[in-house]
Each structure stands twice: as C-alpha cells, then as structure tokens.
Amino acid sequence: MIGALLVSYLVASTIVALSAMYLGQLGLAQADGLSFGIMLSIVTLPILGVWLIATKYFLRACLVISSLCGLALVPMSVA
C-alpha cells in the first residue's frame, strides 16, 4: 500500500508541476494553473493508489508510471 501511495504521490507531483509550469502558457491565469494542478493531483492520488493495489501487474505498472513521471519532471527541474 505504501509503495502504491508513493508512486501515486509521484504522479500527483508531476501533475502539479506540469500545471504550474505550462497551464499559464496556455492562457490560464497562474493562480488557476496552480489551483487546477492541486485539485487534479489530489483527486488522482487515492484513485491511482487503489488501482495500483488492485492490479495484478503492480511492479510493472509502478515502473512504467515512475519512468513517465521521471521523464516529465527531470527536464522541468533542470529548466
């Protein structure tokens, strides 16, 4: 369960970071971008957590999701 929540947290952080960085560039107010990111990420957390726990391919799912998040987060952190 802790593993699933950690991976979900990584996904949520990625959503927040993406919203904070890029939604403003799409014409949304910065406050809106941040708020949207917070809401979407926190709704995603438990649903993804439960799905990960229920899936038969837990490790594979975690690996794929973590890699995707890493791909999204690393360039942003460097930038």
Which residues make up the interface to other proteins (CB under 8 A)?
A: 1, 5, 12-14, 16-17, 20-21, 24, 28-39, 41-43, 45-47, 49-50, 53-54, 76-77
C-alpha distances in Å from residue 48, one per residue of 5, 25, 33, 53, 71: 8, 28, 22, 9, 19
By beta-carbon proximity to other proteins, the closer residue of 37 and 62 is 37
Query: Can you tell me the distance from the alpha carbon of 3 to that of 59, in angstroms, rounded to the nearest whole number?
Result: 9
Contact predicate 73/14, CB 8 Å: yes
- Closest CB 13 distance from other proteins, rounded Å: 5
- Closest CB 62 distance from other proteins, rounded Å: 16
By beta-carbon proximity to other proteins, the closer residue of 5 and 65 is 5
